[in-house]
Amino acid sequence: MQVREIMNTRLKTATADDLIKDISTLMCLNKISGVPVVEDGDRLIGVLSEKDILHCVFPDAHELFLNGERPNYERMEKEFRNVLNRKVGELMTKVVSTVSPEMPVMKAASMMWLKKIRRIPVVEEERLVGIVSIGDVHRALFQQHLVND
């Protein structure tokens, strides 16, 4: 089975200039945990995940440990408001692993497992053509198993 057979092509994307609050709204309303970031229509330049957004309000654990400080959770929650007015390009992950539509599904799943990511963009000739998630892989394997039994 190839990635092309299970990838999602109905994509929600962001641009580097979009505001975090707009993309957070998109993510919450569509119940997705991340979006590809594109320019010039569909050239992939990054990925923005919930983890990227929330990382901004969490202090560096190593720094806290060295300074002997305790996290101020109330302040962290209030700082989230400031994050919402930042641009996607400031917070997105810029080095992105990708797969091709012809790649075997299990190879794509292995890449996600090794890199500890839940979704991976599908790129063909530098253009975003889809996205595949761990959930997509699981559903495809489950369906294939049901058909073959």
Q: Which is nearest to 88 in space by CA: 12, 30, 29?
A: 12
pLDDT per position as a tens digit, 87-119: 999 999 999 999 999 999 999 999 999 999 989
* Domain boundary assignment for the chain: 3-148
pLDDT per position as a tens digit, 9-37: 999 999 999 999 999 999 999 999 899 99
Three-state DSSP at 19 gives strand
The residue with tokens 């253009």 is 127
Question: Higher pLDDT residue, 81 or 137?
Answer: 137
Instruction: Indicate the pTM of the whole model.
Output: 0.83
C-alpha distances out from residue 129 to 67, 83, 104, Å = 46, 29, 16
Does the domain at 3-148 match CATH 3.90.1210.10? Answer given as no
